[in-house]
Chain A
Amino acid sequence: MLFDWLSFDLLLAIALIALAVAALRARDLFKGIVIFMLFGLLVAIAWVRVHAPDLALAEAAIGSGITGALFLGALSRIERKKKSTAPARLENPVGGSTSGAWTVLLTIVLTVQLALAVLRGWGYSDGLADEALSRIDESGVINPVTAVILNFRAYDTLLEIGVLLLAALGVYAIGEGPTVRNLQRTSRSEVLETFVHLLTPMIVLTAGYLVWVGYKEPGGAFQAGALLGGAGVVLLLSGRELPVHAARPGVRIVLGGGFLVFLLAGLAVMQDRAFLEYPRASAKYIILIIELACTVSIGAILTVLFAGCANLLTTPSEEEGT
């Protein structure tokens, strides 16, 4: 072997820590966010190195994409607001931080303790691997991660979809700032238009593919939903009017659909089984239906969340009014 993978891992680990320091200490928050996105990209590589390709897929879309877009959206909204309220109090140059000695001490003690605990206990038990892997046949799928998410611990996942829905509701409830102008709709450029025309169908196709292969290979509702969310963000940024406002017809159904289908599937099997305990023969199809519904919902929820952060929730008619 030409490459010594161990040294590659060391280099990647050092790069991760260096990027974390650079992002956290950047004087300009904009730079910090950009470095954070770069960090997300490298974390995606780290997931592959610890045998977690499912996570790499999700992280590449979320860690290096959507989270960064959220931060940049919020930042540009705040900067515009600052400019519009003209001289305003120029806030204390908030690179300023209060690092008391106790903060340093607390952090160091906690980190060292954790590291020691890991070094002591490393390699003793194999956790739940045997239990999960030995009963994989009963789950209806082959990819163990999908089996855990949608079958063995489906109850957790149902509630997590619920959390996503709650976050979207929260963003709706927080609503729009009173005086802020909307994100400047980029003047339509041919290049961007063509790109979006080309990209969006590709992303939808890839998302569908990810759901489909999720039963045997890395993929599934969360990765595909993250991709769709990314497509939504790109569409919003390119100046498209997406129906993101809760008053638009169908939006609530799309947002809540994943949770609803999941819940109904759980209830439907309850005739002679426990909640969410799928019959073995049809488990594969039940899981596929739930995943399809959740993919669409997760994508829509992520899009709405971005719209909320970047102040794009207003419907066009409201926009004209202000």
Chain B
Amino acid sequence: MSIISALSYLLIACGLFFFTAGTVGLLRFPDVFSRLHALTKADNLGLGLVVFGAILRQSELTVILKLILIWLLVLIASATTCYLVAESARRNPDVKESRNDAV
């Protein structure tokens, strides 16, 4: 029991590390594409680890399935939004992050 508990903490801690790395990438990387890269890669893996860490603390099957479903949905959603943001950035290269049109 305690081994499973320790493993779950370990997984969650690893997940948080990936979240942190992704956030640092988002803040520090120079342009849209590398930021997206850092964010989506790190967050998908980070969330996956956190979800699996949480699954280890659950005994009910329905809750476990819900957790996996959440992870899958986030994977799909983040892949799609990443694609959309990248596509829009590719099409409008002049719209950089400094949109200071002061509305």
Contact = CB atoms under 8 A, between A and B. Distances in A.
Chains A and B form a bound pair: yes
A191 B103 contact: no
B9 A2 contact: yes
A233 B101 CA distance: 26
B23 to A, nearest CB: 12
B19 to A, nearest CB: 14
A38 to B, nearest CB: 12
A248 to B, nearest CB: 28
B80 A191 contact: yes
Interface residues of A, number: 19
B76 A195 contact: yes
Contact of A94 (B9, B83, B100, B103): B103
Contacts of A93: 102
A28 B96 CA distance: 13
A191 B84 contact: yes
Interface string A193-210: 001001100100000000
B36 to A, nearest CB: 14
Contacts of A79: 101, 103
B10 interface: no
Contact of B102 (A75, A95, A199, A202): A95
B31 interface: no
Contact of B103 (A29, A195, A202): A29
Nearest to A92: B102
Contacts of B9: 2
B80 A28 contact: no
B15 to A, nearest CB: 15
Contact of B99 (A28, A189, A192, A199): A28
B73 A202 contact: yes
A189 B87 contact: yes
A52 interface: no
B32 interface: no
B102 A27 contact: yes
B24 interface: no
A198 B86 CA distance: 21
Q: Which 9 A-B pairs have the closest CB atoms?
A: A93-B102, A195-B80, A29-B103, A191-B83, A28-B99, A28-B100, A30-B99, A191-B80, A95-B102
23 contacts: A2-B9, A28-B100, A28-B101, A30-B99, A30-B103, A31-B99, A75-B103, A78-B103, A93-B102, A94-B102, A94-B103, A95-B102, A189-B84, A191-B80, A191-B84, A192-B80, A192-B84, A195-B76, A195-B77, A195-B80, A198-B76, A199-B76, A199-B77
Interface of A: 2, 27-31, 75, 78-79, 93-95, 189, 191-192, 195, 198-199, 202
Given A27-B100, A199-B76, 9 more contacts: A28-B103, A79-B103, A95-B102, A189-B84, A189-B87, A191-B79, A191-B80, A192-B84, A199-B77
